[in-house]
Chains A and B, each alone.
Chain A
Amino acid sequence: DAKTTQPNSMESNEEEPVHLPCNHSTISGTDYIHWYRQLPSQGPEYVIHGLTSNVNNRMASLAIAEDRKSSTLILHRATLRDAAVYYCILRRNNNDMRFGAGTRLTVKP
Chain B
Amino acid sequence: EPEVTQTPSHQVTQMGQEVILRCVPISNHLYFYWYRQILGQKVEFLVSFYNNEISEKSEIFDDQFSVERPDGSNFTLKIRSTKLEDSAMYFCASTLRERYEQYFGPGTRLTVT
Describe B's contact surface by its main secondary structure.
strand
Q: Is there an interface contact between A44 and B43, defined as CB atoms closer than 8 Å?
A: yes
A109 interfacial contact with B, CB 8 Å = no
Give A78-109 interface residues, CB cut-off 8 Å to B. 87, 91, 93-102
* Chain B: CB-nearest residue to A42: B106
* Known pairs A49-B101, A95-B99, A96-B58; A43 contacts B44 (CB<8 A): no
Q: B87-113 toward A: CB 8 Å interface, digit per residue (1/0)?
A: 000010100001101111111000000
Contact of B103 among A32, A46, A87, A100 (CB under 8 A): A46
Q: B12-40 toward A: CB 8 Å interface, digit per residue (1/0)?
A: 00000000000000000001010100000
List of B residues within 8 angstroms of A93 by Cβ: 99
Interface residues on B, range: 20 to 34
Q: Is there an interface contact between A44 and B91, defined as CB atoms closer than 8 Å?
A: yes
* Chain A: CB-nearest residue to B41: A101
CA distance A93 to B99 in the complex (A): 8
Q: Is there an interface contact between B42 and A102, defined as CB atoms closer than 8 Å?
A: yes
- Between B35, B48, B101, the greatest number of chain A beta carbons within 10 A of the residue's beta carbon is seen for B101
A24 interfacial contact with B, CB 8 Å = no
Contact of A96 among B45, B101, B103 (CB under 8 A): B45
